[in-house]
Amino acid sequence: MMSNNKGTFIEINLNSLESNFNYIKSIVAKKTKVLAVIKASAYGSDPVQIAKFLENLNVDYFAVAYVPEAVRLRLSGIKKPILVFHPQACNLNTLIQHKLIPTLYSFKILDLFKHALIKEKIENYPVHLKINTGLNRIGFNSKEVPKLIDSINNDGLIKIDGIYSHLAASEDKHELGFSLKQINLFKKSFTKIVENIKNKPIIHVCNTSGAISFPDAHFDMIRSGIGLYGFSNKLTKPGNLVPVISLKSIISQINDIKKGDSVGYNRGYISKDKLRVATIPLGHADGISRIYGNGKGFVYINNKKANIIGNVCMDMLMVNVSNIDCKEGDEVIVFNEKYTAEQLAESAGTISYELLTALSQRIKRKFLD
C-alpha cells in the first residue's frame, strides 16, 4: 500500500508536456507555427511555469482568454507574443501597456481599440481578426468583411498580424461536413482581407483536434490547448498524447457504517448494509463538483475503484472502501495518466476541460521533470 504524507496536491509532469508538445510539432510542417493556449490557469495547472517551460522549448506563440491572464505572463518574464482571445474594453490600455496582441472581434471593440491607440499616439499596432464561421460566439461574420476591410485600411493605426476562426466541433466525426463548411467559409473571408492589406498575416483555424483531423487546414499556425495537457479527439493514436496533470490525495479517516446510517450532508446516502467509508480531504471548493456525488464519481485506492457516496462536501468527499484493503494515510488517485480526468468527467456527464479548469488554486502544485 502506498502512503501519502503530502495531503492533496496536483502533480504536473513536465516530461509529458514536452512529449505532447513534440507530438503536436510532428504533425505540422516545419514552417507551421504552434501557439500554446495557457488560459484558465493553463487548464488547471500553473500558467507561469508552463509558459516558461514551453518558451524554453521555443514555442512560437501564446494565447489566453483575458488581459489579466496575459499580464501575469508578461510580468513573469514571458517574451513571446501573447494573443488575447477576448479582450474587454476596460482592459485595452493595459493590453497596450504590456505589448499584448488583441483579438478584434466586433466593430465596437475595433473602434474602442483605435481610440486607445490614438490617445497613446501609437500606429501600426499588431492585432488578430476573429472571423465567425459558425460557432456564433464572437467574431466578424462573412457579410461584414467588406466593411471590415475599409475600417482597417483607413488610418494606419493597426497592422493585421493574424486572422483566425474557431471550429465548433472539430473532434466530432459526425460533424465533419460542418467543420469543412467552416473552413471553406474562413478561406473565403481571409482571402478577401489578405488581398486588401499590405502585409501577410498569420492564418490559423485549427485547435488540437482540428490539427489532427484537418491537416489541409493547418495554414500558418495551429493552436493547441487541451492537447498540450494530454487530451484530444478519438482520432489520436493511444500513447501519442499523455495526460500531464494528476490529482492525488489521502485517506484522512475511515469510518465503519452500520445499516441505516447516513453519510454526508442532507443524509445523501443511507447505508443498506455495513460499510467502510473513507473520508478524503477534497471537495467542491477544490473543483470536485457535487455532480460527482451519489455514486457517479470515483477515485482509486491501491489500484481499486472506490465510488463516491453521498453528497460531495465543500472540503471533503467520502468513498466506499468496503472491498478495498486500505488504511488511513493511504494514497488516493483522483485522476492521473492511467485513471484519466476524461474518464472521471464522463462519469458525471461532463468533459475533462471543465474538471481540469475548475481545480482550485488552494491545491498545491508539484512539478515532475
Please report the pLDDT score of residue 231 as a whole number: 85
- Give the domain ranges of the chain: 32-224, 245-368
Query: CA 146 to CA 177: how far, in whole Å?
Result: 27
pLDDT digits (tens, 9 = 90+) for 4-25: 667 999 999 999 999 999 999 9
Please report the pLDDT score of residue 235 as a whole number: 58
Q: What is the DSSP string of 96-140?
A: HHTT-EEEE-SHHHHHHHHHHHHHHT--SEEEEEEB-SSS-SSSB
pLDDT digits (tens, 9 = 90+) for 169-223: 998 888 999 999 999 999 999 999 999 999 999 999 999 999 999 999 999 999 9
Would you say how long the chain is, in residues?
Answer: 369
Query: CA 38 to CA 17: how far, in whole Å?
Result: 13
* Cα dihedral 95/110/126/85 (nearest 10): 60
Angle (deg, nearest 10), helices 107-120 and 145-153: 0
The H helix count followed by the E strand count for the chain is: 11, 19
Q: Which residues of 94-251 form beta strands (DSSP E)?
A: 101-104, 125-130, 158-164, 202-204, 221-224, 245-250
- The position carrying cell 464561421 is 133
- Report the run of H or E that residue 365 belongs to, with start and end: strand 364-368
- Choosing from 181, 265, 304, 364, which is the catalytic residue? 265
Average pLDDT over residues 88-98: 98
Question: CA dist 294 to 71, 256, 352, 353, Å?
Answer: 41, 18, 20, 22
CATH 2.40.50.140 assigned to domain 32-224? The reply is no
Fold for the domain defined by 245-368: Lyase, Ornithine Decarboxylase; Chain A, domain 1 (2.40.37)
Please report the pLDDT score of residue 232 as a whole number: 74
* Cα dihedral 159/161/165/171 (nearest 10): -170
- Choosing from 23, 33, 39, 300, which is the catalytic residue? 39
pLDDT digits (tens, 9 = 90+) for 304-313: 999 999 999 9
Q: Does the annotation mark 61 as catalytic? A: no
Please report the pLDDT score of residue 236 as a whole number: 58
Please report the pLDDT score of residue 1 as a whole number: 58
Please report the pLDDT score of residue 125 as a whole number: 98
Average pLDDT over residues 65-86: 98
Q: Does the annotation mark 39 as catalytic? A: yes
Strand partners, 255: 277
Rounded to two decimals, the pTM is 0.94
Average pLDDT over residues 130-142: 97
Query: CA 366 to CA 245: how far, in whole Å?
Result: 10
What is the phi/psi pair of residue 19, to 5°?
Answer: -60, -45
Is-contact 39 64, C-beta < 8 A? yes
Assess whether pLDDT exceeds 90 at residue 2: no
Please report the pLDDT score of residue 5 as a whole number: 64
Average pLDDT over residues 327-343: 96
Query: CA 129 to CA 75: how far, in whole Å?
Result: 25
Is-contact 278 306, C-beta < 8 A? yes
